[in-house]
């Protein structure tokens, strides 16, 4: 079997944000042992990870609503702030990547996730923490590890574990790279020249950031985001 990477973007080192994709890849690979049976991707958008998940799971079901800003490839259209249009105990694994911050009723979402998950099934969820407002106006919340644990417990989950995706330096350098990209103004030539000057800086700080994270004792407290694994 040919091993697929979760993301195709991390290999392009000219990207201002390739580290973000590498971090996502790392943790999606880490949790691959949990992908099995019927896997439901809540807030799937363009379903970029479908082929990757199908290396492990027998069936993939993408769920999303019609208000997404992406070109949705959902198998089932459902508003994730309300009752999810799936039967009880129909999923062996639930995945949700960068979705819950966009939901105005996140507790309903977690309650519904618990309902559709089989007994013994696993939910793997990722949310940003220190990140800029995106997909406005549908960007409602940021979650601390303690808030995430509380909400998952309230929904009925057990064996809840919250994993920081990065440390302060990865988060900060990525935010600076995003800021510098938005800062580029002027003619097409000026933009191209400015970007050419910034590419080495973008690459260098992203390459250095994980090493600096490891030198920082409080690295987990200022993460770019968190992963949660929780069992029903």
Domains detected in the chain: 18-167+220-231 (3.40.50.150)
pLDDT at 186: 84
Give the length of the chain. Answer: 232
Q: Which two tokens stand for residue 67?
A: 């208000």
pTM across the whole model: 0.91
Which of the residue ranges 68-77, 95-104, 180-189 has the most confident prediction, judged by mean pLDDT? 95-104
CB atoms within 10 A of CB 174: 24
Inter-residue long-range contacts of 5-10, CB under 8 Å, 24+ positions, other chains counted? 5/52, 6/49, 6/52, 7/48, 7/49
**pLDDT tens digits, 131-173:** 999 989 999 999 999 999 999 999 999 999 999 999 999 999 9
Tell me what the pLDDT averaged over the chain comes to. 91
Query: What stretches of 71-116 adopt beta strand conformation (E)?
Result: 76-77, 91-97
CA pair distance 117, 41, nearest whole angstrom: 12
């Amino acid at each position: 079997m040919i091993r697929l990477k979760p993301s195709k973007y991390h290999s392009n080192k000219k990207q201002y944000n390739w580290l973000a994709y590498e971090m996502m890849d790392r943790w999606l690979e880490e949790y691959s042992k949990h992908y099995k049976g019927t896997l439901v991707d809540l807030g799937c958008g363009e379903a970029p990870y479908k082929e990757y998940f199908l290396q492990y799971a027998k069936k993939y079901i993408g769920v999303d609503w019609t208000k997404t800003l992406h070109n949705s490839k959902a198998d089932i259209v459902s508003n994730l702030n309300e009752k999810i249009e799936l039967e009880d105990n129909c999923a062996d694994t639930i995945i949700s990547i960068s979705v819950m911050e966009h939901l105005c009723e996140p507790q309903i979402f977690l309650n519904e996730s618990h309902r559709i998950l089989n007994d013994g099934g696993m939910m793997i969820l990722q949310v940003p923490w220190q990140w800029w407002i995106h997909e406005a106006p549908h960007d409602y919340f940021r979650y601390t590890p303690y808030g995430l644990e509380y909400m998952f417990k309230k929904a009925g989950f057990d064996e809840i574990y919250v994993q920081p995706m990065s440390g302060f330096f990865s988060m900060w350098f990525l935010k600076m790279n995003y800021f510098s990209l938005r800062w580029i103004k002027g003619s097409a030539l000026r933009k191209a020249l400015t970007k050419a000057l910034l590419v080495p800086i973008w690459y260098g700080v992203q390459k250095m950031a994980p090493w600096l994270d490891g030198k920082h004792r409080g690295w987990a407290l200022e993460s770019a985001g968190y992963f949660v694994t929780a069992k029903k």
